[in-house]
Amino acid sequence: MSIKINADLMKTVNYSLILNGQKIIRSLVLENDGEDISGAVLKITSSPELFAPRSIPLDMIPGAKSFEVTGADILIDAENLVNLTEKFSAVIRFELTKEGGDGAIASAEEQMAVLPFDQWAGTSCAVEYLSAFITPNHPAIKTIIDRASAYLAEWTGNSAFDAYQTEDPDRCVKQAAAIFAAIQEQNIVYVTVPPTFDEGQRVRLVDMVLDQKQGNCLDMSLLYAACLEAVGLNPILVLLEDHVFTGLWLEDLKLSEPVTDDASVVSKRILPGVNEMAIVECTMMCSGEARNEFDTAKGAAETQLSTKKVTQIVDVKRCRLSNISPLPLRIMTDSGYKIQRDDVDANKITSAPSDIGQKLSVSTDNIYGAEYTRKVGWERKLLDLGLRNSLINLRLTKSFVPFLVPSIEELENFLADGQDFTVYPKPAEFKVAAEDISFETINSVSDIKELLESELHNKRLRSAVTEAELNQKLKDLYRSAKVSIEENGANTLYIALGFLKWYESDASQRARYAPLILIPVEIVRKSISEGYKIRLRDDDAQMNITILEKLKQDFGIVIEDLYGDLPVDDHGINIGGIIKTISDSIMGQKRWEIYRVGCLGIFSFSQFVMWNDMRNRSEELEKND
């Protein structure tokens, strides 16, 4: 019997990583070169003890192949790290035993560095978690903001930190400069920084910088970023190989991902006439012989951006949308450090619920009974109610682009209002592999809903596929839609909003998925750098009459309200009303439900036109029967 345990673990952990839910065990694979093994148990322990020992029963480990152990992550109690002041090394041990056997049949050990509360893990380990050391809610920040408010009043006559409300980049710059001046008042002395950020470093948190009056480039950049975030501005961190400085957005924007190594995302935005960002050399807030002007600090940062290698750029707002929270306030008590628990934020208390609206009429009478006329047969053939029709049974093949949409109602509203959307690949926070993409997985995005809402409001439409897959899919759809218009004069490109999950019978085990509302769109690509954009076409939205007829003819469910003009709201189609109507109609169907998801693809309605003509001329046809 030959079996090997391959464990991929984080090599370094600290409080911020544990607090923000970073997985300790990335993957755990057993390589079994022998026969099948039944009744095994995998034990996971640590020395010194960081977590409660785990025992994972494995009913069967197949022979002659690799076997991935799921659900094997370990839970380290972050509270145990609050008082940690020095780095130490822990050993994570994996031991595979067989029930009734003597000793282990396989074992493995991995080393893991455990860092103090205030130590950043470095650029080699999830650099976005540096944003956890930006603490805008620290009480020591208030003193700086109060002083900065006085400078703002002196310079502009208005002491308010109104962030982006005025939509004036100059106002944002003055707010940033006022904070710069208030920190200069603190008379902080510059101290040197380690030569590299690869392995991280100890961070002087806000209170330590202000109490000790000392800070290096990282400490000063984090302090400045915390103040910017505290007043509602969106900071960024620009990391060089041996240096770091802070910047800010001059518009209420963010990057598409938490971290990038592309320096041009900043250099393009700080150009005169563009003015979407500003960057600031934060060590120039430290005390010195000469007074440093804010404009000089901007110029110093711009010089470094253009002459030195940028390793990473961290967008703090984007990190927050990835659920990376600031470190909590740590206070010293007689029994050691404790985490101070704040009162519940009033913004986290529910407001009054929204109105649920009125029901539209729904009939579930079988309109045919035992009668099945020749006209009904013709209608079924014209509409193609078979499972090969994507309007009846859509499968997420390479011909379709599934979207991650927090609200299909909002998406339709934006499109109806004339907004273009740039299509982006899946965010890093969406962990579903390509082979596991399904209507269930794209419907289950509540854990990244805030991120997707922010993206939607910034006219970014996130897909559920990788960049390479997305580019190929959009290229193919663009060509297919263009050919259809050139050859047939008809648009066939639609975003399908809302999908009915249905079954052919109560005994059927395979779910089918039918699109409900089809919004006509076009794909636009002005340049390679801009990517693909989606915009609404000047055509009518379509109800998927084909699935409505399937419901009527096979299940006796009649929804007459949706055969004519679709209900509208203040923007366009009343998506919520349509979904509610269909939901009411399927209430008695076991396992049926509606997924509020979106998908881009090619849909043809040529047969529907003929069917509709037959339906409208039914009396004339019956006379000739």
Residues 259 and 182 in one domain: yes
Residue 231, in any domain of the structure: yes
pLDDT band at 372 (very low <50, low <70, confident <90, very high): very low
Mean pLDDT of 191-210: 84
| Count of domains forming the chain | 3
Instruction: Mark whether 133 and 74 lie in a shared domain.
Output: no
DSSP-derived 3-state class of residue 573: strand
List the CATH number of the domain containing 13.
2.60.40.2550
Q: Note whether 105 and 174 are same-domain residues.
A: no
pLDDT at 329: 86
Beta-carbon count within 10 A of 118 CB? 19
Residue 283 lies in a domain: yes
- Position 622 scores a pLDDT of 59
Asked whether residue 311 is domain-assigned, the answer is: yes
In this model, does residue 237 exceed pLDDT 50? Answer: yes
Last residue of a domain, one of 117, 143, 166: 117
pLDDT at 369 > cutoff 50: no
**What is the pLDDT at residue 64?**
85
Q: Are residues 246 and 228 in the same domain?
A: yes
110 and 145 part of one domain:
no
351 part of a folded domain = no
For residue 364, name the pLDDT band (cuts at 50, 70, 90): very low
- For the segment 308-336, the average pLDDT, to the nearest whole number, is 89
pLDDT at 74: 86
| Claim to verify: residue 462 and residue 487 sit in the same structural domain | yes
pLDDT in tens, 583-619: 889 988 999 999 999 999 998 766 655 555 555 555 5
- Do residues 506 and 604 both lie within one domain? yes
Among 295, 322, 349, the domain-final residue is: 322
- Is there a domain that residue 427 lies in? yes
Q: Which residues touch 34 (CB under 8 Å, ≥6 apart)? A: 1, 2, 3, 63, 64
Name the average pLDDT for the chain: 87
The arithmetic mean of pLDDT across residues 98-116, rounded, is 86
Decide if 568 is inside a domain.
Answer: yes
Is it the case that residue 162 has pLDDT exceeding 60? yes
Q: Is residue 339 one of the residues assigned to a domain?
A: no
SS3 for 524-579 is: ECCCCCCCCEEEECCCCCEECHHHHHHHHHHHCCECHHHCCCCCECCCCECHHHHH
**Residue at a domain's end among 117, 152, 183:** 117
CA 296 – CA 466 distance, rounded (Å)? 42
The band of 289, judged by pLDDT with boundaries at 50, 70 and 90, is low
User: What does the alpha-carbon distance between residue 223 and residue 204 come to, in Å, rounded to a whole number?
Assistant: 9
| pLDDT value of residue 491 | 87
Tens digits of residue pLDDT in 500-527: 999 999 999 999 999 999 999 999 987 7
Integer-rounded Cα Rg, in Å, for the chain is 30
Structural domain that includes position 562 = 400-622
Give the pLDDT of residue 104: 86
Distances from the Cα of 296 to the Cα of 150, 193, 236, 251, angstroms: 22, 22, 19, 22
- Nearest of 68, 61, 73, 62 to residue 26 by alpha carbon: 73
3-state secondary structure of 354: coil
Rounded mean pLDDT of 286-308?
89
Helix axes 217-230, 141-156, angle to 10 degrees: 70
Q: What is the pTM of this model?
A: 0.75
pLDDT for 148 equals 97
pLDDT, average across residues 48-53: 89
H-helix or E-strand containing 495?
Answer: strand 493-502
Q: Are residues 440 and 562 in the same domain?
A: yes
Q: What is the pLDDT of residue 142?
A: 95
pLDDT band at residue 370, thresholds of 50, 70 and 90?
very low
Query: Do residue 169 and residue 88 come from a single domain?
Result: no
Average the pLDDT over 446-472 and give the result.
93
C-alpha span between 19 and 557 (Å, rounded): 50
Q: How confident is the model over 516-562, as pLDDT tens digits? A: 999 999 999 877 767 789 999 998 898 999 999 999 989 999 988 88
Tell me what pLDDT residue 358 has.
Answer: 54
Identify the pLDDT of residue 605.
64
What is the residue whose two structure tokens read 């090599």? 11
Asked whether residue 446 is assigned to any structural domain, the reply reads yes
Strand ranges for 538-578 from DSSP E: 542-543
Task: Provide the pLDDT for residue 611.
Answer: 56
One domain for residues 554 and 409: yes
Please check whether residues 99 and 217 belong to one and the same domain.
no
Tokens linked to 267: 């250099």
Structure confidence at residue 332 as a pLDDT band (50, 70, 90): confident
Residue % of the chain over a pLDDT of 70: 89
Q: What is the pLDDT of residues 256-271, one digit of tens each?
A: 899 999 998 999 999 8
Helix (H) or strand (E) holding 520: strand 512-524
87 plus 192 within the same structural domain: no
